[in-house]
Amino acid sequence: MNFASDNWAGAHPDISANLSRHAAGAATAYGDSDLDRAIYRRFSEIFEREVAVFFVATGTAANALSMSACNRIGGVAFCHSEAHMTVDEFGASGFFTGGARLSPVPGVLGRINPQALDRAIMRYSQDLAPAGQPMAVTITQATEVGTVYTAAEITAISEVSHRHGLPLHMDGARFANAIAAIDTTVAEMTWKSGVDIVSFGGTKNGCWMADAVVVLNPDLGHDLRLLRHRAAQNFSKSRFISAQFEAYFANNLWLETARHANAMSARLAAAIEDSASARLAWLPPANEVFAILSRNNAERLQAAGAKFYDWGVPHGLDGHIGEDEALYRFVTSFATTTEEVDRFGQLIAG
Amino acid sequence: MNFASDNWAGAHPDISANLSRHAAGAATAYGDSDLDRAIYRRFSEIFEREVAVFFVATGTAANALSMSACNRIGGVAFCHSEAHMTVDEFGASGFFTGGARLSPVPGVLGRINPQALDRAIMRYSQDLAPAGQPMAVTITQATEVGTVYTAAEITAISEVSHRHGLPLHMDGARFANAIAAIDTTVAEMTWKSGVDIVSFGGTKNGCWMADAVVVLNPDLGHDLRLLRHRAAQNFSKSRFISAQFEAYFANNLWLETARHANAMSARLAAAIEDSASARLAWLPPANEVFAILSRNNAERLQAAGAKFYDWGVPHGLDGHIGEDEALYRFVTSFATTTEEVDRFGQLIAG
Amino acid sequence: MNFASDNWAGAHPDISANLSRHAAGAATAYGDSDLDRAIYRRFSEIFEREVAVFFVATGTAANALSMSACNRIGGVAFCHSEAHMTVDEFGASGFFTGGARLSPVPGVLGRINPQALDRAIMRYSQDLAPAGQPMAVTITQATEVGTVYTAAEITAISEVSHRHGLPLHMDGARFANAIAAIDTTVAEMTWKSGVDIVSFGGTKNGCWMADAVVVLNPDLGHDLRLLRHRAAQNFSKSRFISAQFEAYFANNLWLETARHANAMSARLAAAIEDSASARLAWLPPANEVFAILSRNNAERLQAAGAKFYDWGVPHGLDGHIGEDEALYRFVTSFATTTEEVDRFGQLIAG
Amino acid sequence: MNFASDNWAGAHPDISANLSRHAAGAATAYGDSDLDRAIYRRFSEIFEREVAVFFVATGTAANALSMSACNRIGGVAFCHSEAHMTVDEFGASGFFTGGARLSPVPGVLGRINPQALDRAIMRYSQDLAPAGQPMAVTITQATEVGTVYTAAEITAISEVSHRHGLPLHMDGARFANAIAAIDTTVAEMTWKSGVDIVSFGGTKNGCWMADAVVVLNPDLGHDLRLLRHRAAQNFSKSRFISAQFEAYFANNLWLETARHANAMSARLAAAIEDSASARLAWLPPANEVFAILSRNNAERLQAAGAKFYDWGVPHGLDGHIGEDEALYRFVTSFATTTEEVDRFGQLIAG
């Protein structure tokens, strides 16, 4: 009953096996092997357009290097006020960019409100130029609270961004879960909706360590190879990431694992809704369930072996949460089993 | 006959297998799993003292974060003029430290000369304070030209460093090859010789991607966890590095693979020496052979399938190299076979 | 009728004359002349305690270097959401600190609310550690909207700051105007109220260019000399700043000029209140008047030769401003004359 | 007898008087006043072409911002091994550029050797790309050892720079002394010889604090206004620098003061040559004299009231300096008097 996080899981057997399959033999280092090149092409197929792909070590690196690619002097990027980039990455994007800032924009359930975004960007318009230069907008898909943007919602945001001349970045740490949730194509969810650059995460969805910056807008990626080198994210044995992605994409494994994780969250949500002792904070389209439990109940479940996190700050839930209650997060992954979820369901029902 | 670089090899079967063995199950993320903790302890055993271990994505990251741990305002670190850190890392250490510099120090065959080091540091003494603050000394072991420092030579350098109040860093991208070459203990080659912090590389010696900063001097490591997080080098599934190191250290695999690589270089060197058409530039104690060949001969060997690099700048070899000759580098690894070397031997003899 | 800004004024005659008086003769460069040392002592007298003084080129430099002195890895400083540092300095503090952030805190009329500050800091407490490390709190005195903190209000903020282990910085671009407004001592308004480091501005109050970081808390200033040198703010002919401060402090000139500027604002405010066609947005204790005028009226006054700025974003004034109205800022200085103000008074009354 | 440095002098009376003349009245802040604009045009006249001018607080700021204007990812600028930028500025250019490096190039008497420059740049050519990207060449005119480049020598260097696609920067802290020494025009010494960007110093030659970046190559200056703002070098009362430059350029005051300083150095050099107890290290074309004295003699002169510096490291003078001798630097300025020099002449002759 481990719902702590999807990065507590290990690697999917197919991915692990493919790594072993590629263990022998010599291959050109630093991203130029035949396998690396094949995987770059595979990304272009999946995105249905020519893309540039840069493997990196972590999702944080993908985000911070994406911001570096968009960097301007005195730069300001606009993100949701609960974005991972501002809340969880220890200032990495500020560090990578030599001081560019993240300006928080409000929005319901983890999603930037396009009107609020427009107002936020306009605060940096000509009259207030001394504040800095707008440089990018970034959204997280699926969001930090487990919700997803529809393609139309992304388009609404990209329209605001592009009207102000700003590229749109997508933090896709849970990219696959979002694709599975809104049942669309990669192209629709990204460049057809105006996304210019993506942090493409495979780690949370069954890889060991497979993250990449995927550049969709050819105006952006020019310097990324150099920025990555200087940021010490240039792998000598790059093929060990390629081997993971090879298996990840084969037979749509990545969508299968994401759909499974999402289904496990739906099952978990149903169990919580059915229980008398807990309720959903909001509906979980992807693989994260947020629920309100009494602290006693949470402790009881944890004592019985369930792992999940107290989500601290109640995101606009004041008044909806009782004094003895709190918000809790449950994450499912490719490795979550029906049995695990049902065991938890029995426990919470008890 | 692939002697291009030891990072063209893949992973040793034991390491690959151990990764697969740890693929299943849930484990605490971000370096706090039981396996991670066990590996940190293993490092302390191997170093024969309490050490702090920080996994990172690349050797460049290990170096740049080590420099960050030693950083001072207007900082200057002293390295050999051919050090990887200054010649191959695209300014990563300057970027990570917000502008600290590497000041090159001369020395024969890749090894810093202690007297030259002393003079270089003294140029930044009180009278010339406006130049900046000395902050560290860094050596590479084995060096960029395949030579190694003896423990006594390291001690001579650490004595100069410490007299000036500077920590001594060791870039150990080929740490195991050096240990195997001088047949000493890890403790003797590091802290007993005055080394304070080590970039410990496993990648070139049979891992997929296993590099770490190992802090020997407890005064240094305080901020490394935070510096690493901000540098986007904090792995969620940290155990996939731990799993590599577990197999790496088991049954002294790491020393066995290093000894094998070194033996292959010795065998290759002998073949070159025996040939009429090439000569060694210097003796190779570890796993890199530098030889002088006519350009015609090199092209002939490459055309026949041998892979090795033209080493461009002749390191103080002017006058020893003919007009039609050049310096070439051959690297062997855990994966190099006797058969490969002997095939090359026959070729060069021909 | 120039109310555009107090930095549109030139230099007070006493200050200009003193510069000329010190023009001849040789003096040790880089802040070590006899005059420099005398001025450092003068600061200590004025602050009624031993302080360390570092001259810098601009108020922005004083702020950014103060932040550098408080810098931590992944650092976060807390400022008012309308603070000059976040709204007007083009990201200087983020740049100087290699990426530390300013986290905006709300508060009425330019003043941080202590409870909101406490909540903001707590968001970075242990549970949410991945966001970064709190490093400082900064307040502006007088504030960006012309209000001032009382000593008690500063104490309330320093108590929150210090409870969280954070130093309190004061952006004193209009330090003298604040002292004059609340009629207290420098010591009371700073270290006796818990302020640890001050950006002490003389430029807006009659100097040509005289700004300094004044360090009150001896734990902070250690690195400032080096940080300033690296930031290219180390003046060779430092005495030209000292000469300004010598005259500035002589016979309490600085308080006299500030009192004059404040009195001119009070006179201007009275004229606005007396007029039928404009109203004060709030009372102006120092030397900045904020008033609500119809756009037509503002244009009429500007056409008649009055200089003042449209203040764009109505700071929480929605609902209080009519559709055809806007907020305008009027600044007075040591050089503002009664005649100028009265001429404006007649104009607006007309 | 103060020959310590030209920045120990104060301000020329004309400059001081002009500052006073401009003390009253209101003027647009931040470099947009009528006076500022007039001075920008004056610079264009003096350079005989359209230039962009950015006032800054120090020569170090001019240099570091010039490097920022040339900055590239992993950037490397080439300077003389004794350049002020690398020896005296506490790493400012590395800090301003987020880690770009200065690569030292040898050359006789403070002047870069064009062939050595070519070789140094080529070390960063395609084969060794991982070292970083060449970004600029910088020369100091007059040099740190008081010598000057002729226009032909500058052209030789700019030809190497431009062949490699690199802009040429001139650190002109003693620009006027160089112009006076080689008796050429500003245009000839700069853009006609291939210089792209200049740190134009007025401070050492009679101003209080008047330094500027002057951009000759229109490809470079685009971002300088923003870079300067972010670097906290954007003066509110910019006209106090303009007022200095106004007087500086009026009636060729700047050339007159420079010629005087140079003449004083020539007179001082003659006195040293005439003495039996000292000798010139090399001929001084500008306003810095380097001489070899016995330590006893130097102490005797200093005890008698002469101020000058022991120049520590003997720049390639080993073998030419006796055991009890050392190299000393004497600097003259606009304020040096014939009487002072002659008094020193009598003293050293004695």
Write the DSSP symbol of residue A2: B
> Does C267 reside within a domain?
yes
Q: How many domains does chain D have?
A: 2
Q: Give the CATH number for residue B282.
A: 3.90.1150.10
User: Is some CB atom of chain D closer than 8 A to the CB atom of A99?
Assistant: yes
Residues B133 and B21 in one domain: yes
**What's the burial of A126, exposed, middle or buried (CB within 10 Å: 0-12/13-18/19+)?**
exposed
Contact B229 C74 (CB under 8 A): yes
> Does C2 reside within a domain?
no
User: Is some CB atom of chain C closer than 8 A to the CB atom of D213?
Assistant: no
Residue D168 predicted with pLDDT over 90: yes
**Per residue of chain A (350 residues), what is the pLDDT tens digit?**
999 999 999 999 999 999 999 999 999 999 999 999 999 999 999 999 999 999 999 999 999 999 999 999 999 999 999 999 999 999 999 999 999 999 999 999 999 999 999 999 998 876 557 889 999 999 999 999 999 999 999 999 999 999 999 999 999 999 999 999 998 999 999 999 999 999 999 999 999 999 999 999 999 988 999 999 999 999 999 999 999 999 999 999 999 999 999 999 999 999 999 998 999 999 999 999 999 999 999 999 999 999 999 987 565 677 788 889 999 999 999 999 999 999 999 999 98
* Minimum distance, in Å, between the CA of residue B129 and any CA atom of chain D: 8
- Segments forming the whole domain that contains residue B295: 254-349
Domain boundary among C226, C253, C280: C253
Residues A28 and A157 in one domain: yes
Residue C248 predicted with pLDDT over 80: yes
Which of C16, C23, C236 is facing D13, going by the closest CB pair?
A: C23
Supply the angle between the helices B295-303 and B338-349 in degrees, to the nearest 10: 130
Residue B258 CB partners (closer than 8 Å, separation 6+): B176, B177, B179, B180, B205, B287, B334
Q: Percentage of chain C surpassing pLDDT 70?
A: 98
User: Is some CB atom of chain A closer than 8 A to the CB atom of C100?
Assistant: yes
User: Is some CB atom of chain B closer than 8 A to the CB atom of D207?
Assistant: no
Contact A101 C91 (CB under 8 A): yes
Residues D22 and D129 in one domain: yes
Confidence bin at D313 (pLDDT 50/70/90)? low
> Does D166 reside within a domain?
yes
Residue A31 CB partners (closer than 8 Å, separation 6+): A55, A234, A235, A238
Contact A209 B235 (CB under 8 A): yes
Residues B173 and B303 in one domain: no
Residues D207 and D116 in one domain: yes
Contact D130 B87 (CB under 8 A): yes
Confidence bin at C321 (pLDDT 50/70/90)? confident
Contact B130 C229 (CB under 8 A): yes
How far is A87 from A78, CA to CA, in rounded Å?
13
Direct distance between the N- and C-terminal alpha carbons of chain D, in angstroms, rounded to an integer = 16
pLDDT score of D321: 85
Contact B90 A25 (CB under 8 A): no
> pTM for this structure?
0.97
Q: Could you say which residues from 279 to 308 on chain D have a Cβ atom under 8 Å away from some Cβ of chain C?
A: 307
Average pLDDT along chain D: 95
pLDDT score of B127: 53
> Does A6 reside within a domain?
no
pLDDT score of D127: 53
> Does C7 reside within a domain?
no
Contact residues on chain B for D97, CB-CB shorter than 8 A: 99
Confidence bin at B129 (pLDDT 50/70/90)? confident
Contact residues on chain D for A130, CB-CB shorter than 8 A: 229
Which of B87, B96, B99 is facing D128, going by the closest CB pair?
A: B87
User: Is some CB atom of chain D closer than 8 A to the CB atom of A230?
Assistant: yes
Residue D125 predicted with pLDDT over 80: no
CB A271 within 8 A of CB A345: yes
Vertex D91: Cα angle to D85 and D93 (nearest 5)? 65
Domain boundary among C253, C274, C305: C253
pLDDT score of B244: 98
Contact residues on chain B for A59, CB-CB shorter than 8 A: 236
- Inter-chain Cβ pairs, chain A and chain D, closer than 8 A: 21
DSSP, residue by residue, B5-73: -GGGS---HHHHHHHHHTSSS---STT-SHHHHHHHHHHHHHHTS--EEEEESSHHHHHHHHHHHT--T
User: Is some CB atom of chain A closer than 8 A to the CB atom of D98?
Assistant: yes
Q: Which chains touch D (3 or more CB pairs under 8 A)?
A: A, B, C
User: Is some CB atom of chain D closer than 8 A to the CB atom of B322?
Assistant: no
Question: Could you tell me which chain D residue has the CA closest to the CA of B133?
Answer: D90
User: Is some CB atom of chain A closer than 8 A to the CB atom of D106?
Assistant: no
* Minimum distance, in Å, between the CA of residue B319 and any CA atom of chain A: 33
Residues B201 and B317 in one domain: no
Which of A87, A98, A131 is facing C99, going by the closest CB pair?
A: A98
Question: Can you tell me the mean pLDDT for B313-326?
Answer: 77
Question: Could you tell me which chain C residue has the CA closest to the CA of A123?
Answer: C313
Average the pLDDT over each of A312-316, C337-341, D211-215 and give the range with the smallest value: A312-316
Confidence bin at C313 (pLDDT 50/70/90)? low
Residue B165 predicted with pLDDT over 60: yes
> Does B115 reside within a domain?
yes
> Does A3 reside within a domain?
no
User: Is some CB atom of chain A closer than 8 A to the CB atom of B337?
Assistant: no
CB D70 within 8 A of CB D169: yes
Residues D232 and D136 in one domain: yes
Residues B267 and B129 in one domain: no
Establish whether the linkage from the previous residue to A142 is cis, with ω within 30° of 0.
Answer: yes
What count of residues does chain A have? 350
Residues C221 and C124 in one domain: yes
How far is C147 from C130, CA to CA, in rounded Å?
35
User: Is some CB atom of chain A closer than 8 A to the CB atom of B190?
Assistant: no
pLDDT tens, residue by residue, D228-244:
999 999 999 999 999 99
Q: Give the CATH number for residue C124.
A: 3.40.640.10
- Inter-chain Cβ pairs, chain B and chain D, closer than 8 A: 72
Domain boundary among A225, A252, A279: A252
Residues D242 and D259 in one domain: no
Residues D143 and D76 in one domain: yes
Handedness of CA D241, D246, D247, D251 (dihedral sign): positive
Residues D92 and D44 in one domain: yes
Contact residues on chain C for B133, CB-CB shorter than 8 A: 226
**Which ipTM was obtained for this model?**
0.96
Contact residues on chain C for D231, CB-CB shorter than 8 A: 92, 95, 231-232
* Minimum distance, in Å, between the CA of residue D112 and any CA atom of chain C: 25
Question: Can you tell me the mean pLDDT for C18-23?
Answer: 96
pLDDT score of A319: 75
> Does A141 reside within a domain?
yes
Residue D297 predicted with pLDDT over 90: yes
Question: Could you tell me which chain B residue has the CA closest to the CA of A27?
Answer: B8
Structure tokens at D152: 């032909």
How far is C205 from C286, CA to CA, in rounded Å?
12
